[in-house]
Structure 1
Amino acid sequence: MNFEDVAAAAGKLQESGTPVTIDTVRDALGGGSAAAISRHLTAWRAATATPAEPARAELPANLVSELARWAQQVAEEAGSGTRAALALHEEELEALRDAGEEVEAERDRLQFDVAELTTARDQAVAEVAERDEEIERLNAELRNAKQVAMEALVGKAKDQLAIEGKDAQLVELRAQIEKDVAQRATLSDARLAAEMELVGARTARDSLETENKELRAQITALRKKS
């Protein structure tokens, strides 16, 4: 909004006989800052105001008292113009005061909104910090859980390998035992056969010894007879 807009609106109002005030100009413009309108309106009045031409004091031809009455009437008319101007300025000042109060109320509301937003921001920052701490704690627990799970898997794998190794050892030991049993059975059979042969040999030896004794006895008897 500039001076030309305010001046054009004020001129149209003045031509239509409407009082030129801040409110009527703002209504004609469809809005605007009261302070800006007042500043431009003051400049417009200063540029367009024409000094009131004093009425020519012509003495009436009949009576001097008529001259005094006429002079008093002129003074009253001049004073009424000044009073009207003063009243108009008072209205404008009142409008400015109202606009200032509105601005102050808006400023207070904005300050309250800023305070609420600041509080909300601080709360949000605190919540974000708490969530960051919670996320860090959960990440630490997750890392520990992964470490425990990994160690458990490694231990299980080791146990499985140990079991498999033991199974292999058991299979090998079982085969060795079976082999030893077979070897012992073979040795036992051979020992039994050898013992049987030894018994047979001893029996044959005893028979031979008996026969030898009998032969020796016969030989001795024969020698004695001859």
Structure 2
Amino acid sequence: MAPGFHVGVILQITLSVTIIDNTLRFMGARAMPATPLITYETVASAAEALREEGKTPSVRLVKRYLGGGSPNSILKHLSDWKAGRPLIRVSEIDIDDTVIDGIRQQMARVAEGAAKGAEERAAGVEEDLRTVSEALHEAEQRIQALETELAQAREATQTAEREGQKIGEMAEHDARKAAQALEVAHSRLQEERERGDTARQDLAQAQVRLEQLPALQDEVKTLRAALAQEQQARQQAEKEKAVADTRAADVIETRDSLKTQAESLRSDLDTLKEEARIMAKESKKEISELRQALNETQQARYKLESELARLSK
């Protein structure tokens, strides 16, 4: 360990003692505010407890000992502790000047002992560096997974739009065909009705003529045969109309069903679009947060590497 490192540790501890001295003089025995979860005192206490248990303090072990906390905050305080910063707890006590002088002398001795243990604490920096690297790798994988999910959602939205458009076009085509078939059937029925009326008129005229002119019986028979044919044709046309009406009803029912399906698909498409939009918004937000955490982790990694390089000198 370089002599300059020991001197820096002693100066840091002396500065801490001076700050405590001034705090005690101005605040007296005033109660201290509530200590947050992640502070230098809590991290240093956890590190010393782990060391007493025979374990090498690390970010992961300290976080588990404290029951949570930000790895970056823990890393900062743990690095200070490993660099030799002493753990000093100020209770609600009344300390006079003679005791403070004794504390200064004692802290000087503690500084020398802390400098000797700094080399042992530096060994944990490599493990902290590995922990930060693992967190960095996990963040990068999460970003890639979110980008993949976003691409899949966009592809599903485009597919649903194409399917909905295709079903709508099919329904309109079937409806047009049904309307055309129904119009043709009505036209044929009207023509057959007109032919039947004409045949009945001809038959009536022939009967009158038959009564007046018996010689026209053959013509009457011919007209009756024609009337029978026209009646058969009309019946056939009515049957075809009934079939056409049934088919038209089926086509209309199918068209309505297809329209309902198309509306349902459009509703599902709108829902999918909204979900994709929300997912994209949340994914962008989470990606931004992960990238921010990634930057913080990289900064912590650079700090650890710098600290490791400094300790290795």
Q: TM-score if structure 2 supplies the norm length? A: 0.40
| Aligned pairs for 1:130-145 within 5 A | 130-145=162-177
2:87 matches 1:49: yes
| Aligned pairs for 1:1-226 within 5 A | 4-7=36-39, 8=42, 11-12=45-46, 14-15=48-49, 17-18=52-53, 19-30=56-67, 33-39=70-76, 41=78, 49=87, 53-55=107-109, 79-111=115-147, 113-114=148-149, 117-118=150-151, 120-181=152-213
User: Unmatched 5+ residue regions in structure 1?
Assistant: 56-74, 185-226
Q: Which amino acid aligns with 1:27?
A: R
* Partners of 1:26 and 1:34 within 8 A in 2: yes
User: Unmatched 5+ residue regions in structure 2?
Assistant: 1-34, 89-103, 217-313
Structure 1 residues 182 and 171 mapped into 2: Cα distance closer, same or farther (>3 Å)? Answer: same
User: Structure 1, residues 90-136: CA drift from partner, whole Å, max 9, x if none?
Assistant: 4433432332233233333433x24xx41x33433342343234223
Q: Which amino acid aligns with 1:105?
A: Q
Q: Distance in 2 between matches of 1:106 and 1:42?
A: 28
* Count of equivalent residues: 159
Q: Distance in 2 between matches of 1:29 and 1:12?
A: 7
Q: Which amino acid aligns with 1:35?
A: N
Structure 1 residues 97 and 143 mapped into 2: Cα distance closer, same or farther (>3 Å)? Answer: closer
Question: More displaced, 35-44 or 157-166?
Answer: 35-44
Q: TM-score if structure 1 supplies the norm length? A: 0.52
Aligned to 2:253: none
Superposition CA RMSD, Å: 3.9
* Partners of 2:43 and 2:74 within 8 A in 1: no
Could you say which structure has the greater relative contact order, defined with CA pairs below 8 angstroms and 6 or more residues apart? 2
Structure 1 residues 82 and 48 mapped into 2: Cα distance closer, same or farther (>3 Å)? Answer: closer
Q: Distance in 2 between matches of 1:157 and 1:98?
A: 83
User: Structure 1, residues 165-204: CA drift from partner, whole Å, max 9, x if none?
Assistant: 12321331232222322699xxxxxxxxxxxxxxxxxxxx
1:138 Cα offset (Å):
1.4
